[in-house]
Chain A
Amino acid sequence: MIDMKKLTVSSSPQIHSADSTAKIMWTVVLSLIPAGIWGVYAFGMTALVVILVSIAAAVGSEALLSLIDKKMTVGDGSAVLTGLLVGYNMPPQIPLYIPAIASVFAIVVVKWSFGGLGANWMNPALAGRVFVFFSWTGPMTKWLLPSVRGVDAVTGPTPLGSLKSAYFATSLNVSGPIEFLQSEGLPVTYKDLFLGNIPGSIGEISALLLLLGGLFLLMRKIITWHVPVVYMGSFAVLIWVFGGLRMGTGFFSGDILFHLLSGGLVLGALFMATDMATTPLTEKGNIIFGLGCGFLTFLIRIYGSLPEAVSLSIIVMNMFVPVIDRYTKIKKFGSADVREVRGE
């Protein structure tokens, strides 16, 4: 017979969907693993060490803060995810204290000091990355050519980084970024960009594996299409219309594919600009957020002096989230009055 004392008596609903915070976080971690494996394959074991140090620093900070809060929160997976993303945003040969500091900054300053999980208003991993980028710009912009190109531990600029020099050249006679890089002796193909055969941050180079991971999250309904599609879409339109101006090829000549596949755009649009806590609540809000990210990324990439625009765009848009939420409230059911409904 039933032991009535063991029954749970709680407020309705009595059943729940299979999701939980921890499940979401761990699923995102899982979806990121293929791109990380590619990064380690391309840049060697130092890349793996960078990732592991980032995770260890993030989890370590979370665990120490849990002692203060007297509530262990490491198991929810969010610290692991933050650490993983910090690692993915690092150059492969970075001195290890830099990712460690980025992770600690992300967890302690950006997340914990604002109230912990869900209360942070800026993406912790990106904030950590931007913090160390401006503190140690030298090591943060020293890149490694992937060993899959047949060379070992040779440094070189990222495609986006070398493209910046084109914008400041006095005379250019190229059709677009691909030809410019060719002329600079740094040839890349669209295939290299798509598969991740380029210098860059550990986890950002393989557009293919990141897209597959993002697709997995879409299918698991952990992210929705709104931010990634609107972000990449609006960015692509702006690049197409104005991207050619700085290459001297005029309007409507921007190289969409090059810009979509280079830098941290795919990683950012699929995994950072979709972070639940730091993005708007409604679909409409997320569309506005995506538009803002697309515009800022375009602006910084084409007209800014920094090669990497994605992190800055997303954290600037994070600041707009409260105001977006305020003006994108959904309409309550039954807001019309009786006369209107009756058609009087």
Chain B
Amino acid sequence: MSNYKTFPKGGIHPPDNISNTGDKGIRNASLPTRAVIPMSQHIGVPAECIVSVGDTIEEEQLIGKATGYVSVPVHSSIPGKVVEIKEIYLAHGKKSEAVVVELGGEFKRMGKVQKTFNWNTYSDDEIIKKITSMGIAGQGGATFPTHVKLVLPEGKECDYLLINAAECEPYLTSDQNLIQEKADEIVEGLKILKKILTPQKIIFAIENNKMASAQAMSEAVAKSDIDVDIDILKVKYPQGAEKNIIKSCTGKEVPSGKLPLEIGMVVLNVETVFSIYEALVFEKPLVERIVTVSGGAVKSPKTLRVKIGTTYRELLEECDGITEEPVKVISGGPMMGFGIFDLDTPVTKGTSGILFLTKKEVKSAGQTSCIACGRCIKACPMGLNPTEVNKLSLNFLFEEAQEMGLLDCVECGSCAFVCPAHIPLVQSFRMGKNQLRAILMEKKVANR
């Protein structure tokens, strides 16, 4: 018996496929000659574009301003000229306005000695303001505006600050490699967070297939003056899902329909912590991120540091192109990522990986009827009965599906991964949730 922590119910073991890029370091990707920078890179209201075609802009210049509280600003990742403002499709299939910047002029940060700032002299409010103005959104994939998480509502306290470095999605090695290179910087980021959140305990959680990164982190913690528990978690998908990682580390279950903060938890992705560090110490906005380019069809898989707005096409070239025809190109991880249909899709703040998957890796097959094997129930980390919820959803019994826990589904895809009948369960739950929310909204309006 290992003493690695884990959540008790559900979860699956897809092959992790991290050996091609894990522990191999991060390389800087070439600069994009044209960066396509969307105004909507986060959950919430899109930023409002404040530049026009023909404008000359600097590196890191604000080009989109936050509109409202649940919104984050957008900065240009490269200096140059705005050549076009157009509507594009993002990886998840929704449309967004995007500013196209043609590279030109001088970099003010890249290649220069960086000026540092002493965040210790800032008040909590000033720190939050910095984080807000530097355009930071959760980089684990969900891209929730980070400042919203950090401002605790009246009466709420942060007991635990949990840093999520589980990176449980197969193939992805962005966090894993970042930790090895920037452990000290991440620790500094934790100090900043400790100041504003004053948690009783800080936990850094990582899966046991990334021991080199865990080691780097404990060394960095040991030589600092901050207490951080390094929790080694058992490799199991979806170990990095917010509610599951809380359960694994603390044994507490976030109540159904509630946010982690209700039970005193703040969970942040590790790369977000690094971005907070850069925002405070260098006043650097979020204009680049780590992207894992991998998958069986890629000739030289790599973990890359990429300017936001670089297209997938350029990153594929950076990895020497393909060795065989992929059947799917994925933005994000293979379990929760999006299939894309255009290689000119740009990297955004939430793009953790780009995968070029072969037929052998995808393993698709024709759908049959449900054979009631119960594997989906065993796989569900939220304790749901996916096949039952699916049947209710497909029969338009959305409120009955809600009773069965439709809204508790985190769309991790474990059920659909194991389903021998190849039923597209997650797709059905997404449809069901949309319909259900519409029904609930209607009821709310009617009751007014």
Mark A residues whose CB is within 8 Å of B: 1-4, 6-24, 73, 76, 115-119, 276-283, 329-338, 341-342
Contacts and interface: CB of A to CB of B under 8 A. Distances in A.
A2 B356 CA distance: 10
A118 B370 contact: yes
Contacts of B381: 333
Interface string B330-345: 1000111111111100
Nearest to A24: B420
Interface of B: 9, 12, 14, 170, 243, 247, 252-258, 262-264, 321-322, 325-330, 334-343, 355-357, 361-365, 368-374, 377-378, 381-385, 387, 405, 408, 411, 413-414, 416-418, 420-422, 424, 426-427, 430
B343 A19 contact: no
Contacts of A282: 374, 377
A76 B371 CA distance: 11
B339 A21 contact: no
Contacts of B384: 332
Contacts of A11: 424, 426-427, 430
B142 to A, nearest CB: 13
A8 B304 CA distance: 25
A341 B339 CA distance: 38
A10 B339 contact: yes
B329 A13 contact: no
A21 B368 contact: yes
Contacts of A279: 372
SS class, residues of chain A in contact with chain B:
loop
A22 B420 CA distance: 8
Given A15-B362, A118-B369, A341 B252 contact: yes
Contact of A15 (B170, B253, B325): B170
Nearest to B373: A276
B335 A338 contact: no
Contacts of B371: 21, 24, 117-118, 276-277
B328 A7 contact: yes
Contacts of A341: 252-255, 263
A338 B263 CA distance: 6
Nearest to B255: A334
B336 to A, nearest CB: 5
B372 A277 contact: yes
B343 A4 contact: yes
A15 B377 contact: no
Q: Which among A7, A335, A337 has the highest number of chain B CB atoms within 10 Å?
A: A7
B338 to A, nearest CB: 7
Contacts of A331: 383
B365 A118 contact: no
B327 A117 contact: no
A106 B375 CA distance: 25
Nearest to B251: A341
Given A8-B362, A15-B417, A21-B371, 15 more contacts: A6-B325, A7-B339, A7-B340, A10-B424, A12-B336, A15-B334, A276-B374, A281-B372, A332-B408, A333-B9, A333-B381, A333-B408, A336-B253, A338-B255, A338-B263
A282 B362 CA distance: 28
Contacts of B355: 14
22 contacts: A4-B343, A6-B325, A6-B327, A7-B328, A8-B328, A13-B335, A14-B357, A16-B362, A22-B368, A73-B368, A116-B369, A118-B370, A276-B371, A281-B385, A331-B383, A333-B383, A334-B253, A334-B254, A334-B258, A334-B382, A341-B252, A341-B255
A320 B357 CA distance: 44
B140 to A, nearest CB: 15
A332 B405 contact: yes
Contact of B421 (A7, A10, A21, A330): A21
Given A7-B339, A7-B341, A282-B377, A335 B369 contact: no
Nearest to B384: A332
Given A12-B426, A281-B385, A330 B377 contact: yes
Q: Which among A20, A278, A338 has the highest number of chain B CB atoms within 10 Å?
A: A20
Contacts of B356: 2
Nearest to A10: B339
Q: Which among B330, B364, B374, B427 has the highest number of chain A CB atoms within 10 Å?
A: B374
A74 B416 CA distance: 24
In the A-B complex, the 9 residue pairs with the closest CB atoms: A13-B413, A11-B427, A281-B374, A9-B339, A276-B373, A334-B256, A21-B368, A118-B371, A118-B369
B422 A14 contact: no
B288 to A, nearest CB: 25
A11 B322 CA distance: 23
Contacts of A7: 326-329, 339-341
A14 B337 contact: yes
A11 B361 CA distance: 16
Given A116-B369, A282-B377, A330-B377, A17 B418 contact: yes
Nearest to A116: B369
A19 B418 contact: yes
A22 B356 CA distance: 27
A329 B384 CA distance: 9
A195 to B, nearest CB: 32
B363 A16 contact: yes
Contacts of B326: 2, 7
A119 B369 contact: yes
